[in-house]
Amino acid sequence: MKTELCRKLGIDLPIFAFTHCRDVVVEVSKAGGIGVFGAVGLSPEMLKVELDWIDAHIGDKPYGLDIVIPARYEGHGEMDPEKLEAQLKSMVPDGHYAFADQLLAERGVPELPEQNGARLLSWNEAVATQMVDLALERPNCRLVANALGTPPKAIVDRIQQSGRLVGALCGRVKQVKAHRDAGLDFIIAQGGEGGGHTGDIGSIVFWPQAVDAAGDTPVLAAGGIGSGRQMLAAMAMGVQGVWTGSLWLTVEEAHAQPAQKQSYFDATSEDTVRSRSWTGKPCRMVKNAWTEAWENKDTPEPLPMPLQGLVSYNAMIRTDRYAGTGECQEVAFNPAGQVIGQINHVESSRNLISRLLVEYVEALEHVNAMNDY
């Protein structure tokens, strides 16, 4: 099942694993797929530590970096991170911070021992550019993907001139065309069932439309892939690989705390929701008291990206650090796709990849056997 895109990247399997865990990146790439490290939430300094670790452990295998430069966000165009931070902070109403703090207090989530004011998030061109520069210093980092919108031309050029591939996610045909016209090397077509920032067109409808609209640009299928059967369904549409996220949240090598993994195991496919309550843009996650609190008519409205991220920053840190304390999971950020409903035990990344392959082949044999033409 090697595709042209696999050949360009030097990988054996068209399996792209999006993850925030460096260990998972390394394991997937060693198993024949490619790990893509999600940098959002980190500062460039923190990212450097992670990439150094990956470089030290991945051997001669390739990996990728995923950044977030939204096509539209508050403060767009400001390239000085300090100025941008000051500008954004002045835009957040005080009531939002207080409401977020209160939600955490009600659920018994401890305060942080140190002072930890909301920090500038990496969801902007200013910080993401520094991250891309870090990636391009490393020979094994072979691709950069932007999670929201077509990357700015300067970044596309920089990545391509360095011999790497650049791609981006999207959820609508119009965005596929924009990515194609910007000359991206691949397009990740994500159906609305996917985790994280997502649109609302179902994968089964969107994938073939994306393949047709992308012309010669390779498409990866995202949103709803948790088994080899689903992978075959995607490949049958003409994509050149699958972009998976939820699958890696609970693997053995994922650094999430047990309480967090348990939240994912407990969730059925009906337990996720598209909510603006963490990042300011619709993002699919496990439904809980936090997501519901921001939906009420008489509570603050989530702010646009990246302002809501400033509001939720401390909540992310606290619920991550104290994941098993009190009713922390009720106010934690657990991004996941609907496919989380079929994930219910820990397995190693390597076993998971083997399982995908076995299921893929079984599904293919099944449809071949059914065909008596």
Q: Which stretch binds its own copies (CB under 8 A): 24-32, 73-81, 328-336, 365-373?
A: 365-373
The residue from 235, 249, 285, 353 that contacts its own copies (CB under 8 A) is 235
The residue from 42, 170, 189, 232 that contacts its own copies (CB under 8 A) is 232
The residue from 39, 225, 293, 336 that contacts its own copies (CB under 8 A) is 225
User: Among residue numbers 309 through 338, which ones bind its own copies (CB under 8 A)?
Assistant: 337-338
The residue from 81, 341, 347, 350 that contacts its own copies (CB under 8 A) is 341
In DSSP terms, which residues pair with 190 in a beta bridge? 222
Residue (208 or 300) nearer to its own copies, CB: 208
Separation between Cα atoms, residue 31 and residue 141, nearest integer Å:
16
User: Among residue numbers 256 through 275, which ones bind its own copies (CB under 8 A)?
Assistant: 268-270
> 226, exposed or middle or buried, with CB in 10 Å at 0-12, 13-18, 19+?
buried
Residue (41 or 241) nearer to its own copies, CB: 241
Residue type, 106: E
Length of the chain, in residues: 373
The residue from 70, 167, 226, 309 that contacts its own copies (CB under 8 A) is 226
Q: What's the number of CA atoms in the CB half-sphere (13 Å) around residue 131?
A: 30
Residue (104 or 239) nearer to its own copies, CB: 239
Q: How far is the CB of 339 from its own copies (least distance, A)?
A: 5
Q: How far is the CB of 285 from its own copies (least distance, A)?
A: 15
Element (DSSP H or E) covering residue 56:
helix 44-57
Residue (42 or 340) nearer to its own copies, CB: 340
User: Among residue numbers 172 through 211, which ones bind its own copies (CB under 8 A)?
Assistant: 172-173, 191-193, 200-206, 208-209
* 371 scored as a contact of its own copies (CB under 8 A): yes
Separation between Cα atoms, residue 302 and residue 185, nearest integer Å:
34
With b for 16 or more beta-carbon neighbours within 10 A and e for fewer, the 87-109 pattern comes to ebeeebeeebbeebbebbeebeb
* 298 scored as a contact of its own copies (CB under 8 A): no
E-strand spans in the chain?
15-19, 34-38, 63-67, 141-146, 165-170, 186-190, 196-197, 219-222, 241-244, 272-275, 283-286
What 8-state DSSP symbol labels residue 83? H
Contact call for residues 354 and 312 (beta carbons, < 8 A): no
Residue (224 or 300) nearer to its own copies, CB: 224
Q: How far is the CB of 346 from its own copies (least distance, A)?
A: 20
CA 177, chain centre distance (Å): 21
Residue 306, preceding peptide bond in cis (omega within 30° of 0): yes
Q: Which stretch binds its own copies (CB under 8 A): 29-37, 49-57, 84-92, 234-242?
A: 234-242
The residue from 149, 151, 223, 302 that contacts its own copies (CB under 8 A) is 223
Q: Is 286 helix (H, G, I), strand (E, B) or coil?
A: strand
Q: At what angle do helices 173-181 and 203-214 cross, to 10 degrees?
A: 30
Residue (81 or 238) nearer to its own copies, CB: 238
Q: How far is the CB of 360 from its own copies (least distance, A)?
A: 9
The residue from 45, 117, 216, 370 that contacts its own copies (CB under 8 A) is 370
Q: At what angle do helices 44-57 and 125-136 cross, to 10 degrees?
A: 20
Q: How far is the CB of 220 from its own copies (least distance, A)?
A: 14
Positions in the binding site for its own copies (CB under 8 A): 1-3, 172-173, 191-193, 200-206, 208-209, 223-227, 229-230, 232-238, 268-270, 337-339, 341-342, 361, 363-364, 366-368, 370-373
